[in-house]
Each structure stands twice: as structure tokens, then as C-alpha cells.
Structure 1
Amino acid sequence: MALLGAQPLQAQNESGSAPHIRATLLAEGPTQPGQTVTMAVLMQPEAGWHGYWTNPGDAGLPLSLDWSLPAGAKAGDLQFPVPQTLVLQGLMNHVYEQAYAVLVPVTVPTDAQPGSTLPVSAKAQWLACTNQICVPERASLMGTIAVGDGPKDARFAAWRAALPARLDQQGKFEATPTGLALAIPFPATARIADPHFFIAGQGVIDYAAPQAFARQGDWLIVTLARAKGAMAEHPQSISGVLALGPGAGGLAITAVPGAVPKGGTPIGGSGQAAFSWRTLVLAMLGALAGGLVLNIMPCVFPILSLKAMALARGNSRHAQAEGLAYSAGVILACLALGAALLALRAGGAQVGWAFQLQNPGVVALLVLLATAITANFAGLYELPGLSVSRSGASAGTVGGAFGTGLLAAFVATPCTGPFMAAAMGVALVLPPVAGLAVFAALGLGLALPFLLIGFVPPLRRILPRPGPWMDRFRRAMAVPMGLTVAALLWLAWRQGGLGLMGAALALAVALLIVLVMAERQRRQGRTVLAWLAPLAIALIAAALLGAPRLAAKPATQSEGLPGTQPFSQAALDRARASGKPVFLYFTADWCLSCKVNESVAIDRDTTAKAFAKAGVQVIVGDWTRADPAITTFLTAQGAAGVPLYLWYAPGAATPTKLPQVLTPQTLPDLAAGAKQDG
């Protein structure tokens, strides 16, 4: 009976009939006495029915709750997810046509006994509608809160991510002859598609009237029509939700009276900025420079051994053909990754740059690739395009150069460097064809050094002559590639625990056995492709599909600096409200440039002492695995990937975006300046 009572109970409509929107009361998990737990009212409409946002629009009624709580318990305000628009017969409605969760913080009494279970209930009322009829519904919701320790309901992370992110500075609004002009702080590089502003106050604007949007620097200008019959007076503040587009989430906005910037670039019907050749050219130049810098970024080091072997073959008569093939492979891979990113975001997925490395299956696949390259460099087998004969002559092929380019881009692109971050942010704002041009420019920058070697004879003549040393060099390059395998296995452990790491290691060993067997067969003059290809496909399928299923709970993340808190919008709000400086940074275990910055500038005694003296609060967002809340925040900041470093000075309305390459003195100097200002 105790176990049964701990489960959430679904609501029954008090009229006795089955509701068209089924409501269920859930607790995120156990909590300690005096602490707050998040409750959810899960609303599940039947097909064709919908519920309403807190301001339903021209018609409708939102969910309301009348709580019955234990003595000393307290329920907070209802938190609604970002709504959708629905226009019927000229009336604008703010609705939810799919299942949605309304979250409510509930504080447990301080005298609650650990190990006990607290009953909670609420009388709920809502309106369920189709496009033709509406039915008022009500029910008694019942649930329980366990006091103590225990696991959390994993569904709450997605429900919390569906809430609008609170903007960290106020907007401005002013009256116009026809209504209101609203200025919302919004980075110029941040993507927005099909925006709509849902105002919380009723009777202020005409909900069904078209909303005009324009971009003016780091401001989004919204023109709203006055409600029919509304008075000329306007409220002292305006709040609401800016929806960024289908599946892209939204921002919770508060605006006060103030001057709204004039003019701006109108946003097209798709919500994208009007096309500009100047913007495209600047973005492509930035991407080209970013691709060049990637050649020396630490995150690209595993691929440099591949390039070194290719460059050593620069005197080959096929140098130009290999240069073109390598460049084609790099550019094609960047285009493919860019197209996948744009398509996923257009479909509503919360993904960003380097999204492929957030998939445990892709990490397992990279373990196989790095293992194959390491074995080739060590001489265990010959791989066309990468192998060098013992005489030192080139064994390179155009196909091998193309494959090397594909792999180089796939492994190199997860990190962002100088110039690249802004270019990638613009690529997500531009129309799809223009955005793909930016991704192609990134690939060209990454391939440009090798392309120049192929087409500029003086550069090829600088390289050493081919000879037996090349075979020794290749074997030496097996060491960094072997370290790459170890790093990828470590990443697998960080992402999915020992289960994922063990699966990836087993697949790598199986691949080594297959490659050694294939090499023996090849040396005996036997054909190996007929059985090698199916085995390779099976191993790849096991990596992509099977390995993630064996993943256990991810390993505990390192704490970083003393007192570091994991990122959440609530944690950031509390830290900023404290009046102390805040350092917020986003990282990932697969981003080597992030790890270099942490070693060089963040996780240092001098930084820790400077932060402690200035009272700096540190928050870290770990993006090793996909996190919709982090992706939403990065998008709002105009960032397409990590690293991202933000410094919030006390009382500052907006954060200072720090460079992506930190020095040992960057953070201590900021902390010292903040202490002096204080």
C-alpha cells in the first residue's frame, strides 16, 4: 500500500466522463525538509484537442489549481511552456496542441520527517477545445512527495527545457500611433525563425494583428497593434514570451518604458534576416579564417599526423589531384555537417555545432576510426591513401586523399576557434543556401594549406625528399594516434560510464583482429574485400546502434574551481541577484580547446585565489551530452558551439563575452578589477 501510494494518480473528470485532456500530478523526486521540489501537471490532450497558455488570447481559459497541501508547505506560481498560435475565424488563441507540462515549485515543511511521504492534491480546472467546440473540464489531482533522498524523474529535464528562458536584461517599449514598439535585447548573431511575441497582459494588443519584426544591432524590434477599443494609456511594464520559432524555445521578457531604436533590418516571413551579400561575404571570410586556425588548434592535433603523411608525399606527380581530392573531402564533410545541423534545427531539435560528438554511438565510431588509423601507422596493415612503402615512395591515391579529407573535417570541426564562432552564428541566421556557403568556406580554410602544397611547386620543394625516413615517421605518428584512441575511450567513459567505454574497447579490439587477419590474407594474394566489407559494416552498425544501449549512467563530472555550480537558468539568476561577479562558462569533454583553456586559465590556484578574494561565483555548463537548456542558452547568446565564456559584472545589464582563447591572467585580472570596483 505504501508503494502504491507513492505513485502519481491520474485525474478523473469530476463529471464522471473521460476528460479530453488527461491531467496527471507528478513530483520530480524526493526532497529534504525545508527544500523545494518541482511538481508537474502533465496535460495530455486527445488528438484534435488543445489547452491554453496563461493568457489564452482572444478566447479560452488556462489551467488553474486550488492546492491542498500539508501544513507548512507552499506552492509557487505556475510555469507554462512556450505556447503556439492558433487562429480560428480571425481570433488568435495561445494554445498547446500536444502534450505539455505545467511546472510548479512546492516547498516542503521544515518539520517534515525524512522517510515520510506527504500527500498533495489540487482541484484543477481547464478548458479543452477543438476547432469547433470547447468543453470546461475539472478534476481532483492527487500525488505524493517523498521526504529524503532518491532518484529524480528524467522527464522533468525536457519539461524544464520547454519553459521559456528568462532574458538576463530588461527590454524597452514605447507608445506608437497604432500601438506599441517593443525592443528586446537579442544578439545580432542569434538565429530566430518565425518569431511571435505572446504578451502576458490582457487587453493591451490586438492578438490577431500581424506583428512586425526587425533587427537593429543587438536589439530585436517588435511592432504591436493596439487592441480594438483599448485606451491610449499603457502599463508601467510589459511581460511575455518571445517564441523563437517551431521547436526553438522562447525567452521570457520583461520590458519597461524607454526609447526604442528606430529602423533596423526587417525580418522575412521565415523569420530569417534579410539576405545581404555583405553579411555573407564577411561570414565566409570569417569561416575561412576560422578553418585556417583550426589547423593549429589543439582539438585538431589527432588529424595533424594524417596531414603530415600527406604533405610528405608532396613531390608525388599526383600532388595536385590529391590536393583537390583532399579538399573535396573536407568541404563535403563540412557541408554535410552544416546541412544536418540546419535540418535538425529547422525540425525543432535543440542541437548546436559539434552535435555529432554528443551521440555516444558516434564516439564509439570514432574509436574504431582512430584504432584503424593507429594500426595502419604502426604497420599492422596497409590502407590505400595513407600507406608509405618501405622505400619511401608514395602509395597515396586520390580516393585515399578524399577519405582523409572527410575524416579530417569530421574530427576537426567540433571545436570553435577565433573568427569561427561569429561566422557559425551568422550561418545559422542566414537562409539555408547562404548558410551552407559559410560551411563550405570553413572547409576550404581547413583544407587550404594542403591545397597550396599541391599547386605551388616551391612549397613542395621545401619538403624533405621521399625516403625510408617516411616509414619511420609514419610509425612514430602511431603514438599520437594511439593517444587519440585513449582520449576517445576516456570520452566514452565520461559520456556513458564503464558500459559505453567497455563496448567501444571491445569493438576496437575486434576491429584490430579483423584488420590483422585481412592483412595476412592480402599478403598471401587472396581477396579480402568480400568478407572484410560485411564485417566492417557490422562493426560500424554495432558502434552506432549497439554501443549506446550498453551505456550506463555517465561518469560524475569534475567540479572545477571550488564552489562551481552546474548551469541552470535558476542558478544564474540567483548568482546575479547576489550582487557578486559571476563567471559562466560552457565546455565539453570532446572539445580539446575547452580543456586547454581550463588547464591554462580556469582550473588554476591563482584563478581560484583571485575568485575567492573577489567573491566570484562560478557556473559551468557541461555540453558533453545534448542538453536542451544549454543549447537554448547558447542560441540566445548567438553561439553555435563551445567554448563560450561570459563575465557578469555586478549590476551590469549584459555579460561581457570573453575571447575563446584565455591566458593565465585573463580571469585573475577580471576578478581584481571587480574587487576594486566593489
Structure 2
Amino acid sequence: MIDARIMERFAALVMLVALALALPLKAQGPGSDRMPVDLVAEGAPQPGETWMVALHFMPSTPEWHGYWSNPGDAGLGMELEWDLPDGWEVGEPLYPLPKRLVIGGLMNHVYEGDYAVLVPIAVPENAAVANVAPISVTANYLACTDKICVPQQARLALDPAQSGFDPRFGEWRAAIVPQLDSSAQFEFTPTHLRVGIPIPAETALGDLHLFLGTPELGEGDRPDYTGVQTFISEGNLLVAEVPIEPIAVPDNVEIAVESRPEEITGILDLGNGRGVRFTALQGDVPLEGVKPIRGGGAEPVLWQLLAAALVGGLLLNIMPCVFPILSLKALSLAKAGGDERAARRDALAYTAGVVLACAALGATILLLRSAGEQVGWAFQLQEPVVVVGLLLLALAITANFLGLFEVPGMAISGGAPSRGGSFSTGLLAAFVATPCTGPFMAVALGAALVIRPIHGLLVFVALGIGLALPFLLVGFVPAVRRRLPKPGAWMETFRRWMALPMGLTALALAWLVWRIGGWDYLALVLVLAVAALAGLALGGLFQRRARSGSVAVFAGLVVLLGIGAALLPRPEAQAASAESLLDPIGYSEAALAEARASGRPVFIWFTADWCVTCKVNEGVAIEREATRAAFEQAGVIALRGDWTQPDEEISRMLTQQGAAGVPLYLWYAPGAEAEQLPQVLTPDLLVEKARNSQPRR
């Protein structure tokens, strides 16, 4: 049985080849309008020496990227056909350090922006370089965006006799990954390729990754490019363990099984733009049983992830971002004071609503991520129309608590609990809880996005069960239920008071609408809000006068508001981030690299305007004068990633850190990797981190 992920990769490769055959090649000019290329010489060739030329690639727009010699799961490596004078010999192309780009679950080894591939050419000792004929090359390569790929062909010529020094070669040479002067060794285990690379113990190790230049490993195996790579270090030896998998082929196709290679090549990315090229020979690779320094070894056990999600969902009941919905929960608890059978029915209905909502959100996230979208927990709150819908919903709940209208099954007039009302309450509780991630949730939800999809879905189900667990205890444990206050007239007063937190929630959502779209957008939304309150008041009037038209009024109002929300113009740009005492730099991968290269401590916080936990942490620990003073004294560079609206670079960072959403807090000590701080910050945590980062005197 062939793994489904492997079949997905095979299908993607088939589609890519079909696209390459279907599109005509560009036969004229330097490359094409997608990815132009120039052939440039470092200078004039000299007899008996190596002459270096460069293929300089210049994407027409930033979204286009090129590929390394081993493109990964998809793409095509560059092919060169040279026409050289007799006796002149071309060497292997030399590449800069590639980047990783995952699209649709497929790993791509790419170059973004301008880049140059250097090609050494050995010139014979007796070559008449003064009157040698021009050389030429036909380059076939691929230019891609995240959505399309276009085959390219460039026919390029260069006259060695007319070649002069090009000052750009200094920069291009510096970008080429240097060759390791010592040989590495490799061996195979049943599930991994182990490569032992001699690296001095004092080498600073950053975000490690091994780019294999050998795409086929023999015996029907290939590298699992998206698998977790583990790194082990002891003394002057660094061992990389790369997972392997069978090559995907259709059942009716037979392929010859080749033996293991005698030699493999690749690039070891040391982090921070540094890397080394290596050549590895078959041999014994030691360090079995040594604790990994990167990669974490085995995946978390499923039951541990389920337990973490269950406890996280339970604790989510007391997190600040869930507090507004506690009003609905409190009313449901009060209603459960009736007979035992009704209490169990009510608890099961509520649980079904919570679990269904969590499972649906989890399934949607997993499906979108499998399609290449960079989304995480609470992704739906990045859509303005969802925020508008929540604002209208919060206003409706506030109006219900104030007695403006009644919802059958959710009102507390002394009647029996309603399964439909409890189910709806569960759906709403889970949906509104998504802006928040509490303790234990970060690891569980982060792992749920990278483990097998069916197991990931179980993690989201466990989260829902944890969120609903207090209601299950009330419904099925009589001792807990007996401790609840007896139903009575106090419930109506309590209901009115619960309008306060829901009203504050509506105000917070109105503020978020303003942050997303500005005053003009908020004004349009408030028109909808006034119409909603007017419609609810009209429906409530029909209810109080015992008229039968209230259902039609509410149904028409829902349709009208849905059409109005759909017709709202989409905000063009996100509002600027709020002022901060720390004067942070806006997060980007380039900004982080520059900050880390400064040799100073770096603190990044990833936040969103819809994340209540984020805002609480900012007030408690980040936006404090003591924090600002400590950061200034220690020279800490602060970066802020605002995820209020979608941002691919932030999404990639969250994925790399195993986080399903915000908040996420990272601390980089000078020369060290990221340290994840707790999701609930204490007031002095950042102050202490800054003080400890100062050099001892």
C-alpha cells in the first residue's frame, strides 16, 4: 500500500511534467520575461587555469523563484548544454545557499530574488585565448511562483577574447557555499540516512538543515524532504539524520531497483546564511543514542498530545479570551438544576456542539494547509466578514440578555433545558474561544498540524472535549449538580448582569473592525448593527404580544444581515500597529536575520488585535516602563509580528516553531537559537531575561 502523501507528490510531479510539455520553450533572447539570465565572465581566460563564468538570474517580479540542482519534491533542476572549444572542459555548477519553500505539502529548494550560479571551465595550457571562438550554452530551467511554473530556455554566447573583469563577481563568489575540505561519511538505517560531517566543535549552529544533492538513494528509496531532520553533535562531528521513504510509482509500473550510492553530496545549512558543501562516502557513522541537539527525535506520542489537548481545552474555560462566553455557560449551568435526565441531555447537547465546532475548525485548517495555505488556529478571525459576523452576534446576545427578545431554548424563564439551545451554545462557545490558546495547547495544536491528518483531527476533538468537560461533569455527576444554586428569580437578574461582559465583547469587536478597516468601514458595519438591533426589537415586540410573525421577522433579519455583510467592501490594508514602549521593528525574515547578526539579544512577540490573551500579556509584561528600561540597558532588539490579517512570513515562523497560532514569544540570546517563552507572561519575566543577557562584570 503506497502512502497517500507519496501519491500526492507523484501526482504533483506528473502535473508539473505535463505542464512543461504543454508550454512552448522560449528559444530566443536571454532567458524569458519570467526569469531572464545573463552569461558573464569573471575576466579573460588564461591558458592552463580555471576560467569562471556566471549565469546571473534576474526574476522579472519578486514572486518568481528558481531552483537548486536538486529541486526537492517538485520543480526541475537546471540543465546546461555547452559548446566549447576543443580541450576546454566544464566543471560542476556552483550554487549559493538555497531556501526551503513548502507548497501544498511539497518541499521546494529555491532561490528568491537575483542569484548567480558559477561554472568553472578548465582552459588547456596550449589554448590560444586571444583568438578563440566564442563559447555558447543552452540553459533549460524552470521559473515558478506559488501557483504556476513556466519552463524557460536561454541560448547565451560569450566571446572569451572580449571578456573583461566584472566587479559583481566578488559578491557572487561570496554567496557560493564553500566546499568542506574533509570527507563526510554516510550510512543507512531502515528509516533514515545518517550523514556524519566533520564540523569544528566551536562552530555556531543555527537553524540546521541538510540539503541533499543526491535525489535517489537506491533500493527504491528517496529523501523525505518534509520529514523532521535530527541533528546530533559531539566534539568535531555533526551527524544529520534524514528520513527516507519509498519512491512513489503506480502499481502497474515496474522500475529497476538500483543499489545504494557509493557517494552522496549536499549542502549543510548552518543557519544565518552560512553553509558548507560536502561529499560523503559510505562508512560507519557513530553517535548512536546521543541526545539530538535539533529536530527533537521521535514524534510526540499520540496519547500525550491528546492528553495535552484535553487539559488545554479544560483550562481554556478560564482564559481571558473565553470570559465573554462564560455568561452563556453560566446560564446553562443554572438551567441544569432540573431533573437528572434533562441535565444529562443538556450536557450532551452542549458537548456535541463544542466538539463538532472544534473538529470542523481543525478539519478546515488541515485541509487548507494540505493545499499550501499558511493558516493556523483562529485563522477565521483574519477575515473581516467573520469579525463583522461576530460583532453582530455579540450584539444579539447582549440584546437577548437585556430582554429585548427571546431565543426559544436559550431563555431562562424557568422552562426545561433545550437540547437545540445547548447545542447552539456549544457551537458558539468553541467558535468564540478560538482567538485564545492556553497552557498545554501550544504543543498539542502545533503538533496536530504536522502529524498524520487523522491523528491531528483527533487532537482537535480532544480539545473540544476538554472545553466541554465542566458541563459533562455537571450533567453526569449529581454531587456537582447539587452544589449549583437552585433555579429562581435570581436567574433573571443574573441574566441582565451578563449583558455587561457581552456588551464589552461587542465593543472590543467594534474596535477590531476599526483596526481592520478604519473609520469608514466601521461606519458601514455600525449601520448593519443598528439594523440588527432594530430587527431584534421588532421581533421581540411580536413575541411579547404573542403574535406569530416573530419567526418570519428573525428569518428575514438573518437574510438581510447576511446579504449586507457579504456586500461590505473588503478593507484594502491593515491598520498600522499600535505604538509601543519598546519601539519594535516590524517582523520579517530579513529583519530577524539582521537583528540576530548584530550580536545583541532579540525578543519577538507575535500578536493579533483579536487575541485577548495577547493584549493581556502586553499590558502585564510587555508594555511596561520596567521592561523598556531593562531592554534599553541590555541592548535588546524588539520585533513585533502582527497577525491580525494574514501574513505568510509570520505563518511560516509559527509553523517552524510548532505553534498553531498566537500568542508566540521568542527570545534569542546572542548566537543562540530561539527560546520559546510561556504563552502566559508574568510581569517580570522579560525584565529578568534582559538582565540575565547582560555580560557579567
TM over 0.5: yes
Q: Distance in 2 between matches of 1:635 and 1:477?
A: 38
The Cα of 1:238 is off from its aligned counterpart by: 3.2
Say if 2:362 is the partner of 1:338.
yes
Q: Distance in 2 between matches of 1:663 and 1:61?
A: 56
Q: Which of 531, 534, 546 is 1:513 aligned to?
A: 534
Q: Distance in 1 between matches of 2:312 and 2:152?
A: 57
Q: Which of 640, 665, 682 is 1:645 aligned to?
A: 665
Runs of 5+ in structure 1 lacking a partner? Answer: 1-12, 26-38, 46-50, 63-76, 86-93, 107-123, 141-171, 185-195, 242-250, 266-272
The 3 A distance-change label for structure 1 pair 288 and 228 is closer
Say if 2:140 is the partner of 1:127.
yes
Q: Distance in 2 between matches of 1:174 and 1:24?
A: 35
Q: Distance in 2 between matches of 1:373 and 1:125?
A: 68
Q: Distance in 1 between matches of 2:244 and 2:301?
A: 28
Do 1:174 and 1:260's aligned partners in 2 also have CA atoms closer than 8 Å? no
The 3 A distance-change label for structure 1 pair 311 and 357 is same
Q: What is the aligned length?
A: 540
Do 2:62 and 2:113's aligned partners in 1 also have CA atoms closer than 8 Å? no
Q: Distance in 1 between matches of 2:112 and 2:433?
A: 41
Q: Distance in 2 between matches of 1:234 and 1:658?
A: 37
Q: Distance in 2 between matches of 1:350 and 1:649?
A: 28
The 3 A distance-change label for structure 1 pair 569 and 387 is same
Q: Distance in 2 between matches of 1:428 and 1:252?
A: 27
Q: Percent identity?
A: 44
The Cα of 1:204 is off from its aligned counterpart by: 12
1:610 is matched with which residue?
630
The Cα of 1:508 is off from its aligned counterpart by: 1.6
Q: Which of 61, 69, 93 is 1:55 aligned to?
A: 69
Q: How does 1:592-631 map to 2 (within 5 A)?
A: 592-631=612-651
1:280 is matched with which residue?
302
The Cα of 1:569 is off from its aligned counterpart by: 1.1
Say if 2:268 is the partner of 1:238.
yes
Q: Distance in 2 between matches of 1:253 and 1:561?
A: 34
Amino acid across the alignment from 1:655: A
Amino acid across the alignment from 1:137: A
The 3 A distance-change label for structure 1 pair 60 and 590 is same
The Cα of 1:261 is off from its aligned counterpart by: 5.8
Amino acid across the alignment from 1:664: P
Say if 2:464 is the partner of 1:452.
no
Q: Which of 590, 604, 609 is 1:570 aligned to?
A: 590
Q: Distance in 2 between matches of 1:369 and 1:203?
A: 54
The Cα of 1:180 is off from its aligned counterpart by: 6.9
Amino acid across the alignment from 2:304: L
The 3 A distance-change label for structure 1 pair 629 and 313 is same
The Cα of 1:414 is off from its aligned counterpart by: 2.4
TM-score (norm 2): 0.68
Runs of 5+ in structure 2 lacking a partner? Answer: 1-24, 37-57, 81-95, 117-136, 144-149, 158-181, 198-208, 233-239, 246-257, 292-296
The 3 A distance-change label for structure 1 pair 134 and 657 is closer
The Cα of 1:60 is off from its aligned counterpart by: 3.1
Q: Which of 600, 603, 611 is 1:580 aligned to?
A: 600
Deviations 1:216-274 (A, max 9, x none): 7788721689x999996978x63499xxxxxxxxx988468898864899xxxxxxx99
- Provide the secondary structure at the position in 1 that maps to 2:301: helix
Do 1:587 and 1:620's aligned partners in 2 also have CA atoms closer than 8 Å? yes
Say if 2:397 is the partner of 1:373.
yes
Do 2:31 and 2:155's aligned partners in 1 also have CA atoms closer than 8 Å? no
Q: How does 1:366-445 map to 2 (within 5 A)?
A: 366-389=390-413, 393-394=414-415, 396-445=417-466
1:325 is matched with which residue?
349
CA RMSD of aligned residues (A): 4.6
Q: Distance in 2 between matches of 1:301 and 1:41?
A: 50
Amino acid across the alignment from 1:583: F
Deviations 1:436-457 (A, max 9, x none): 1111111111111112112222
Q: Distance in 2 between matches of 1:517 and 1:601?
A: 46
The 3 A distance-change label for structure 1 pair 359 and 264 is farther
Q: How does 1:525-604 map to 2 (within 5 A)?
A: 525-543=547-565, 545-547=566-568, 549-604=569-624
Q: Distance in 1 between matches of 2:183 and 2:690?
A: 35
- Provide the secondary structure at the position in 1 that maps to 2:593: helix
1:665 is matched with which residue?
684
Do 1:587 and 1:642's aligned partners in 2 also have CA atoms closer than 8 Å? yes
The 3 A distance-change label for structure 1 pair 387 and 674 is same
The 3 A distance-change label for structure 1 pair 364 and 286 is same
TM-score (norm 1): 0.69
- Provide the secondary structure at the position in 2 that maps to 1:562: coil
Q: Distance in 2 between matches of 1:44 and 1:676?
A: 43
Q: Which of 387, 399, 409 is 1:363 aligned to?
A: 387
